[in-house]
Amino acid sequence: MFRELVCPISNIRIDRNVVRTNGFVTTLCLVAYVVTGSPFIILPIAADYAMRASMAAPPSPMTLFARAVAQLLRFPYRAMDKAPKVFASRIGLTFAVAASITYFVAPAASPWIAATFAVFTALESLGDLCVGCVVYTYVALPLFRARAAALEAADGRPGEETA
């Protein structure tokens, strides 16, 4: 199942070991938030993810920290495409913002959202499993294809034939 995942693509490469280190650091921060309930943890996570959610933004503070840790631990460089991580960061931004907002309007829900987010970042960090790629493959891509087919039908143009 996971070998068939489809992710967005770009020509920008990043270090997979930095991504995984970043996921580990994020997981630790999210667990600290769940345990303490401090907004001084979840709000900076949301701000960091806002920076990560752009293809053109400079590296976020947590990414710079993860890069320094990876260099300190002498992890080898492992190139990967940046686009899937940007898509995953947008999903992460959604969770971080939701946890931040619910901290103020529904405080009991916020740790649950953050804990779910922590599971996703732990899967990335420890299992090298990108939940964003799963969402892209099984949710976003089918929606994009359905929308394209509907637009083609509305225009009266035939769709691409497949063999």
Q: Per residue in 60-81, pLDDT tens?
A: 999 999 999 999 999 999 999 8
Return the structure tokens found at 153.
Answer: 């039908």
In a domain, 156, yes or no: no
CA atoms of 7 and 130, how far apart (whole Å): 10
Tally of structural domains, the chain: 1
CA atoms of 29 and 65, how far apart (whole Å): 13
In a domain, 24, yes or no: yes
Q: What is the pLDDT of residue 99?
A: 98
In a domain, 138, yes or no: no
Q: What is the pLDDT of residue 102?
A: 98
In a domain, 34, yes or no: yes
Residue located via tokens 């401090």: 38
Q: How far is CA 127 from CA 39, 58, 99, 102, in A?
A: 28, 27, 24, 29
H/E run at residue 81: strand 79-81
pTM, rounded to two decimals: 0.82
In a domain, 78, yes or no: yes
Contacts of 16 (CB under 8 A, 6+ apart): 78, 79, 80, 128
Ramachandran class of 128: left when φ > 0, alpha when ψ lies in -120 to 50, beta otherwise: left
Q: What is the pLDDT of residue 158?
A: 57
In a domain, 38, yes or no: yes
| Percent above pLDDT 70 for the chain | 90
Domain that holds residue 63: 12-129
In a domain, 158, yes or no: no
In a domain, 27, yes or no: yes
Sequential pLDDT tens for the chain (163 residues): 555 656 667 788 999 999 999 999 999 999 999 999 999 999 999 999 999 988 788 999 999 999 999 999 999 999 998 888 888 999 999 999 999 999 999 999 999 999 999 999 999 999 988 888 888 888 878 887 888 778 788 876 555 555 4
